[in-house]
Amino acid sequence: MPDTLDIVIIGGGPAGYVAAIRAAQLGMSAAVVERDALGGTCLNWGCIPTKALLKNAELYHTLKHDADKFGLAFDNLQFDWSKTVGRSRDVAGSLSKGVGFLMKKNKVKTYAGHAYIPAAGQVQVFAPDDVDRKGKPTAEISAKHIVIATGAEARALPGTPFDHDKVINAKDAMTLPQRPDKLLIVGSGAIGMEFAYVYNAYGTEVTVVEMLDRVLPVEDKDSSDAVLKAFKKQGVNVLLKHLTTDIKVSKKGVKATVAPLDSNGNPIKDDAKTIEADKVLVAIGVQGRYDGLFDDALGIELFKHHIKVDYKAENASYQTSVPGIYAVGDVIGPPWLAHLASEEAVLCVERIAGHHAPDIQYDAIPGCTYCQPQIASIGLTERACKEQGLEYSAAKFPFQASGKAQALGDTTGFIKVIAGKPHGEILGVHMVGEGVTELIAEASLAMRTELTADELIATIHPHPTLSEATHEAVLGTEGKMIHF
């Protein structure tokens, strides 16, 4: 007989386990089916372990290049790559166990295995690697509500599948047994730039290839320009407006053909060059992960390699095209962010339970990239403001003028605020520099609560802190900046 529950969540990542906990808090009997490890990609192979690697890299880079600035001197600085990777894995493992504890604390039942939905209200669980369901189900679950929270997976370059040896994805990149001498990275989004920073810091010759005209293309141009300047100073090779047209793999490594693009976006083959590397990290984006989850006959509608739901509609239920089956998180499309996935999960479950909850403000979702310098942003870029014909005032306060940044010994970057006219509403905030991934929360609160520039100006910021740069930038939108 199948287990009978109120709700079953497929996927134990930041959307899945959060949905299960909230459902349990609301009095539902809940279960999670996870075929890898609780915590999902974010906790085990993404957000958390990469930040551990980045911290290691930042510390090593500081000791190697800036020790004298802090009055430090030593001989024979070395690193142990296996311990670097090991610390990252230990952090992920500890937190995954913590999610398991939360499941028990909230009386959420967990199933280890691959989930399959044969019909609405039914879930079968197979062995974790039995995606094709060749064996018999290890469990069957009956539930009125099914929430799909299976996340996303890396997209491969056309014609060049991942072999997880020479052609790798982010998961491979964080557990390489040996540091490569040369690494080619295709794509300069958050994943590409974070790994470029890590490996460059440890002495790998890194080349980043980006087909658009700037790195971190979703960011404001000022942010992209500042990061590019910093990365070039650190020794990272960056090729903008270049397309990787071919990759040949051998036992020794890879040979990639890279061609510049003309004004129409077409590769100029006569100017193509060959780049040799030990490995190529493909970081061109992700797509929804739902392999083997359901048959086409079930009728779940898809859209651009994601599951289609009404997630940006007013009073969105996150229901798929099949009643009683919902989807949240990366599997439903961009922006692919763990913090957004968790919020969607909570909202979905609360609406299933019949609770009133405010819609997510999708035009005010903060995004962060954790290389050095860090990048954080929310809301509109200047380019978007111009395209929408908005009247605005923008001001940028450099960390070079910040007393706290000077004291920390890192004055790279700035905080930029875009305020609307004539009311001073905050349209966008863009940050580059030390600690900005923590500072962006103030901007998130300001946009969510519709604070104006005047109200932020009237908010006293403590001295000396990096947050004063936000205050100064907001002052600048009204021509009142004091310290620059």
Positions marked catalytic: 463
Give the Cβ contact number of residue 316 at 10 Å: 17
Distance CA 112, CA 234 (A): 44
Integer-rounded Cα Rg, in Å, for the chain is: 24
**One-letter amino acid of 21:** I
Q: Report yes or no: 31 and 106 within 8 Å, Cβ to Cβ.
A: no
Q: Report yes or no: 389 and 463 within 8 Å, Cβ to Cβ.
A: no
Q: Report yes or no: 394 and 477 within 8 Å, Cβ to Cβ.
A: yes
For residue 296, give every residue at least 6 positions away whose Cβ sits within 8 Å of its Cβ, in sequence order, or none: none
Q: Phi and psi for 154 in degrees, rounded to 5? A: -65, 140
**One-letter amino acid of 432:** V
Distance CA 103, CA 113 (A): 16
Q: Report yes or no: 109 and 31 within 8 Å, Cβ to Cβ.
A: yes
Distance CA 324, CA 143 (A): 9
Q: Phi and psi for 181 in degrees, rounded to 5? A: -75, -35
Q: Closest by alpha carbon to 230, among 402, 409, 434, 412?
A: 412
Which residues, listed in sequence order, are joined to residue 185 by a DSSP beta bridge? 208, 281
Distance CA 408, CA 483 (A): 18
How far lies 174's CA from each of 9, 49, 161, 179, 180, in Å? 28, 8, 19, 10, 12
Which residues of 63-201 form beta strands (DSSP E)? 109-112, 114-119, 122-126, 139-148, 152-154, 167-168, 182-186
* Residue found under tokens 């790279």: 412
Distance CA 265, CA 332 (A): 29
Q: Which two tokens stand for residue 343?
A: 């919020």
Alpha helix locations (H) across 271-381?
A: 338-352
Query: Residue 324: how many CA atoms within 13 Å on its side-chain side?
Result: 15
Q: Which two tokens stand for residue 255?
A: 């040979």
